[in-house]
Amino acid sequence: MHREQGRRITEALAAFLGTPLDEVLERSLRQDPRENALALFHEVAATVPAYPAFLAEHDVDPIAVRTVDDLRAVPVVTKANYVQRYPLADRCRGGRLEACDMIAVSSGSTGQPTFWPRFLTDELAVARRFEQVFHDSFAAAERRTLAVVCFALGTWVGGMFTASCCRHLALKGYPITVITPGNNKDEIFRVVTELGPSFDQVVLLGYPPFLKDVIDAGLARGVRWPDLHVRVVTAGEVFSEEWRSLVAERLGSRAPEYDFASLYGTADAGVLAVETPLSIAVRRFLATRPETARALFGQERLPTLLQYDPHARYFEAVDGALLFSGDNGVPLVRYGILDTGGVVPHETMLATLASAGFDPLAALPRGGARLLPFVFVFGRSDFTVSYYGANVFPENVTVGLEQPGIQSWVTGKFVMEVRRDADENEHLSVIVELAPGEPPSEARRSAIAASIEAHVGRLNSEFKSYVPEGRRAPLVTLVATGDPAHFPAGVKHRYTRRPA
């Protein structure tokens, strides 16, 4: 087994180090991604013990799946019907968990941690996505770059995965130096002020609201961000173009298409897609043209818009839900990640924009446009909200409302959402329905907020790890029973809302 692992590492490293990004992406576009997904299906069915058992439960014979059209009839894999039903080792190739060299953690729909094994070869595949960002957007092949990892560290996937991928780029020859202060603001400020001036640019990598907190607090401390030539890599949340413009202004950025990049990533399969100069230019145009956005996305609400390598991760959109197939420590075929969104071919995107009188290529003076397809993501379709990159679950908030001295004041119903203030700072808002006849008061509001904060922090390790202390207290609003705006009678209640 060790000899086989050594061979895999040697071959993967040689391919990663010896193949330019341009060649990888051009080769990918010459191949039919559906055929690659079909080949992955057969490989997983033959080598991963849990998958043929899953197929048998759904009366699917893998031998009968011969064409790409047959693949569309293969059952969708989810956490509920696959990940939570089969042992972890059985979801790895050969049923060997030890064949993976690292395990990351993410939270599922109830906050229960899920383990996701991976091997070095999986990291190298994801490092290609980081290479797209650092090469195409930040010109890091020619610039001495300090990559400051501001994601939470530990077992959580973001920090360790990001640090590893950035180091792989350094190994490939990019003049990138990585440092990992995590989400410790004081350490981030020490890093950027003492080390930043020695580099041509500083890249901050983290969750959008946390990075904005860092930038704002840095300005208050006298950090001269424009002098450091800061670029920003985000993940985990949809943000507005107003947010990007505001942060760009505070950083002194004059070309946000080249100074920002959002990653569409997950512990399940690493980074699936990335913002590119082209996708950002398109999104910034669509932010002012809701009718064109509706034509592309089916609604005027603006999703995250990214491009992806269809050979590395094959996307499908089924009834408004995104599915992907991709190799990893736990290979996944037609996996439903609970994100709503869709896929737009490159030609379709440019043709639609042309009909609206916009040429995104003309908006990119430095180039950086690739002929890759687009994927758009509105966010989770379950009942979670994403706050500072942490999934916040209604079940956690419920516990805070069920405490003695509080439960008699409330019905147990609430609406949770993430709101942005006038300065584009995020806040966790919880609107709570009072029990009949119970009056609102500041004392009650404060007690409920403290209870929710305490129990969400106790039950949700992501929340405790990702959200800064000063941002954990929710903004609680108390409303009367049956409040028509939030708790109308006769309507099925939803515990979360997302920004319009």
Whether 68 is in a domain gets the answer: yes
Whether 484 is in a domain gets the answer: no
pTM over 0.95: no
Neighbours of 60 (CB within 10 A): 17
Statement to judge: residues 439 and 331 lie in one domain: no
Statement to judge: residues 448 and 374 lie in one domain: no
Pinpoint the alpha helices (H) of 356-441: 394-401
Whether 199 is in a domain gets the answer: yes
Whether 491 is in a domain gets the answer: no
Q: Burial level of 447, CB count in 10 A (0-12/13-18/19+)?
A: middle
Assign residue 199 the CATH number of its domain: 3.40.50.12780
Structure tokens at 435: 């029990």
Amino acid identity of residue 483, one-letter, is D
Structure tokens at 397: 């908030």
User: What does DSSP assign to residue 82?
Assistant: I
Statement to judge: residues 68 and 156 lie in one domain: yes
Assign residue 404 the CATH number of its domain: 3.30.300
Statement to judge: residues 191 and 326 lie in one domain: yes
Whether 140 is in a domain gets the answer: yes
Whether 493 is in a domain gets the answer: no
Structure tokens at 30: 């010459």
pLDDT tens for 81-92 read 999 999 999 999
Statement to judge: residues 299 and 412 lie in one domain: no
Whether 271 is in a domain gets the answer: yes
Statement to judge: residues 437 and 346 lie in one domain: no
pLDDT of the residue at 111: 56
Amino acid identity of residue 450, one-letter, is A
pLDDT tens for 204-255 read 999 988 999 899 999 999 999 999 999 999 997 788 898 999 899 999 999 9
CA distance 417 to 440: 21
pLDDT of the residue at 2: 62
pLDDT of the residue at 109: 47
Whether 486 is in a domain gets the answer: no
pLDDT of the residue at 157: 78
pLDDT tens for 287-329 read 989 899 999 998 877 899 999 999 999 999 999 999 999 999 9
Structure tokens at 412: 């147990």
pLDDT of the residue at 490: 60
Tell me how far CA of residue 300 lies from CA of 288, 295, 297, 321, in angstroms: 10, 8, 7, 17
467: helix, strand or coil: coil
pLDDT of the residue at 351: 96
Find, among 441, 456, 386, the residue nearest to 417 by Cα.
386
Number of compact structural domains in the chain:
2
Statement to judge: residues 368 and 409 lie in one domain: no
Low-confidence ranges of the chain (pLDDT < 70): 1-3, 107-112, 381-382, 489-492, 498-500
Q: Which domain holds residue 58?
A: 1-382
pLDDT of the residue at 49: 97
Statement to judge: residues 460 and 336 lie in one domain: no
Statement to judge: residues 398 and 377 lie in one domain: no
pLDDT of the residue at 63: 96
CA distance 172 to 349: 33
